[in-house]
Structure formats: C-alpha cells, structure tokens
Amino acid sequence: MKKTIRYSLVKVLFLSVLIQLTTTSIVAQNKAAELDKLMNRAHATGVFNGTVLVAENGKVIYRKAFGYANKELKQQLTPDFCFDLASVSKQFTGMGIMVLKERKQLSYDDKITTFFPEFPSYGKDITVRDLLNNISGMPKYESFATEYNLSNTEILKIIEERKSLDSNIGERYVYNNAGYVMLALIIEKVSGMSLADFLKENVFRPLKMKNTLVGDTPKINLKNRAIGYTVIGELDDYQVSHTGSTSIFSNVDDLFLWDQALYTDKLVSKRTIAEAFTPIVLNDGSVSNYGFGWFLTPEKESVNHSGSDFGYRNFIFRDLAKKNTYIWLTNAGNAVLKDEINVAIENILASKPYKTPKITVFSELQKALQTNSVNDAIAIASKSIKANPNQFVMDDAAINELGYKYLNENKLADVFSIFKFNLELNPNSSNVYDSLGEIYLLQKDTVNAIENYKKSVALNPNNANAVGALKKLGVATTELIIEVKVAPVVLKTYIGRYQLNENYSFTVTEENGILHIQGTGERLTTVIPMSENRFYSKIVTVQFTFNKDEKGIVDSLTLNMGKDMVAKKVE
C-alpha cells in the first residue's frame, strides 16, 4: 500500500512539473508570436531595418532579421550579421578596465596623470572612476574638432590643448565620449596591447564571441557585415574612427553571450560586476545613474545602453532581476522608433498590452515618391495623414534630410515644397524654420531668411546655427533671447513625476529658483524659462511646456523634440 502511495505521489509530481513546463512553453510561444507581430509591423512601416534578439529568464525566445544588409546588392539581413555597436562599445571598454583592476594593474582611484604624466594640470585630479562614471568634467572634444573621423591620438591632442574643465570633478554627470577614449588609451598604456588585441584576448575569446572585434583598421574582417545608411537610404557606412567610446562590431548572438556572462565570474568577479551597476554619488549628495558604460535604472533593477554612429542605431537592455534581455541592431540611421519599440518589447515580456509603432510620415512620403512627383507625393501623404492622423509620427528630421537630398541635386522648387510641408506638420520645430531660412538665403531673399531664422531662435534659443546666420546678416539676436524670470512659487507647481509611457517618466524638481528635469535612466537637466510655463535645455534640443487643466492645476507636460509628446502628471 505504501509503495502505491509513493508511486502515485511521484506520478503527481511528474505531471505537475510537466504541466508547468508545458505552460511556460506556451507562454513563451505566445510572447514570441507577439514579438513577431510587433517587429513585422515595425519593418513594414519603415521604422526597423536590422536584427533583434529577445531572451526571457536567460532563454532566447525570439531571434530574427528584417530588411537589407546591403541595399545596392539587395542582400538580405540574417541574425548573424554584424553591426557597428557605436556607444554600446563603452561597456566593453569598461570591462577592460575592470579586468586590469582585478589583476591589480590599476586602481579606480588612480589619477589620469599616473598613466599620462604630461596631461594638463587642469585635469590632474581626474581618476579612472571619474572617467568610467562620466563625472570627470573633462572638456568635450567634438566642438573643437576640424573633422569628424579622428583617431584617439588626435582626440588626446585636442583635450590637451584645452585650458580648463567643463565642470568640477564629481560635480555633475555629463555624457562624454572623450572620457572613454581616455580609458581606451589607459588600457593600451597599462597592458602594452592595442585595445583591439586586449579585448580579443581577455573578453571576446574567453566568451567565444567569434563575430566581435574592435574596428581600428580600414577593412573590417567579418564575414557578414551590415552596411550603414541614413534614414533616407543614403550611404553612411563605417569609417575608421576612434576606439573606446565606439567602433566595436558584433551581432545579436555574441551580445547575448556577453549578456549571459555578466551573470557569472567568467571575466571578473560578480562583486566587480555589481560595482559597474552601482550609481555614483555626486559632490552635492545627489545621485548619478551612469555606471561603467551602462545607464542604470535601480528602481527597476535594469541596465541599458544605446548606440548611434554613422548609419547604425543600436540598443541593449538587461533586466537583472528577471534575467530578461533584448538586443536590437540597425543600419538605417534614425529610422528606428527606439522608445516605441523598447516599450512594446518590455510590455510583451511582462504580458501587458502594447502599442505597435506608428508610421513615420517620411516612410509614407518615400513610398509615394517611387511613382510620383514631389508635389503629388506630398498630396498623397497629406491625404493619408488626414484620414488617420493618430497613426503617424511627424518626423521632422527625416523629412528635412530628404529636403537636403533634393538641395544637393539643385532641385530648389522641390526643396521648398518639402520644407513647407514639413512646417505644416511641425509648426513648433526650430529645425524646420532654420532650414527654410537657409533656402531663402540661397535665393538671396534675406527678408524671408531673417524671418525664418528669427522664428527658429524664438523656438529654440540654443540654436547656434540660426543665431550665427542672423549675426552674419547683421541682425542683433539679443532681443530674440529674452531673459524670463519665473517666480519660485510658480516653479514649485511644476514639481512632480510625469509619465510619458509605461516605462519612461520625467521627474521635475526645483532648487533655488531653478527647474531641473530628469528622464528615466537619464542625466539631470537644467531647463531655462522661455515663458512662465515653457522651458528649454541648453544641452539638448528639447522643450518642455507645462499644461493646466480647467481648474488651473498643472496636470501634464508636453515634450517637444521635433514632435509633441504629452506626459501626464502622476505624482
């Protein structure tokens, strides 16, 4: 009798486990089907051309490729194709430093002069950790560069020619490519190897990442490499550039190997890895959520990083608690709708409802241009937008880029039509007014050029191009940028959290009469008043407008980065 009971119990347990495994498999299959629906829709509407991999609890549930690797050859992408990772490369540079630290070949507290004694005195107290966390205050080199494609040595020379820090060490987080170039140079100095060889020997080879390398030579020796293009399909392929902050090539499979290795001690100890995902405390006691080449979201126990260079746009997300991961790599410039795709993938993984990406106006216009003149294509696109306005994204940057393509072909009538169409769609875009001003100026129409440049500056006082153009035309710009004072009592009404979507919100704070806004996983940004309820950033081209309900209570903010997006106040 006892044997029978024991046998029955084992049988029940076996059936229970079998049912559980079957249910898990069905759930995974359902999520894979939803992910496939999402990505097929994204590709069909022109907002995704690339490869994608999604893993749940450490297991790959979706892996697929969409579109062309090489448009000229009509070569289709497959998931094993490699892309320039752009700034996703920074996490590997961070790992290189971590490896050397564990070997006691350097310390996070070592100063930059330990490795470069000749480094200017203004930066002598910068530490390795300051560089890793982007809090060094080191001058950004980009505005002093005479060309885009610089080597690490050339970038170092530019940095050494500066006279002071951009901010005090540890004062604030500022995303800085120069810091990661310096980290690459430190790795090379300490190890006696090139960054490419060091990462190959100490990261890529141990993890069997056979399709990953640092691109520091003109010829990239990878069997399958995706060619880079702009959002409008013009060639924008990788050229030899600097390393440390960018230039690593890889594919989704190798990046998944990397993701999984970070849960182990294959490269460095788990304790060292945990430190890479730890927020840093700034001088004033506030916290910066940038780790060692990762953006951190501590409240969600997740880390991520995006990349943007040449025609490549990429993203990696890791949920550290659930061991969920998604990685996508693209080669069509700014065509990808990053936020919409990311939120949808995360919602699918969480078994929540999700929205499919909208259609970009550019993709609708491009489709119509295949068989129609510019004006007829605009009419067709306008009709589609009027019929379903909520299905479209008014992507001013891509439409503008199309206009410049026609400008290069000296088709000025078409350029005017495209820019004016863009202005109808995006009446609050400083960028579009700036472009119109440029075209009028080419036509020697200084009256309309000045009018449009003025509107551009009024919408974005930080638009250096428009301000410079007006100065050249002899127009004073001081009266265009009116200093606005907003009473602290009014600013305090804006304090709170504003939810843009399921996974992204803005936190608004006020200190000493100054308003600060911080997006999820992003840096703290000081915003400057343009009016009592409208503010702009001097760091990025973005504006925030605070809205009130019928009772006069602030209930939302409108974010404008070429298009308006409303975030509801939730706290």
By annotation, the residues acting in catalysis are 87
Contacts of 342 (CB under 8 A, 6+ apart): 315, 317, 326, 503
Please provide the DSSP assignment of 351-405 as one string.
T----PPPEEHHHHHHHHHTTS-HHHHHHHHHHHHHH-GGGEE--HHHHHHHHHH
CA distance 160 to 501: 43
Contacts of 6 (CB under 8 A, 6+ apart): none
CA distance 406 to 409: 5
Q: Which amino acid is at 380?
A: I
Q: Which amino acid is at 512?
A: N
CA distance 81 to 220: 13
Q: Is 180 helix (H, G, I), strand (E, B) or coil?
A: helix
| CA neighbor of 176 nearest in space, from 114, 126, 214, 212 | 126
Taking the CB of residue 430, how many other CB atoms lie within 10 A of it?
26
Please provide the DSSP assignment of 538-550 as one string.
SSSS-EEEEEE-T
Token pair, residue 161, equals 């020619």
Q: Are strands 392-393 and 359-360 parallel, antiparallel or unpaired?
A: parallel
CA distance 295 to 302: 9
Contacts of 463 (CB under 8 A, 6+ apart): 430, 431, 434, 456, 457, 541
3-state secondary structure 287-314: EECECCCCEEEHHHCEEEEEEEECCEEE
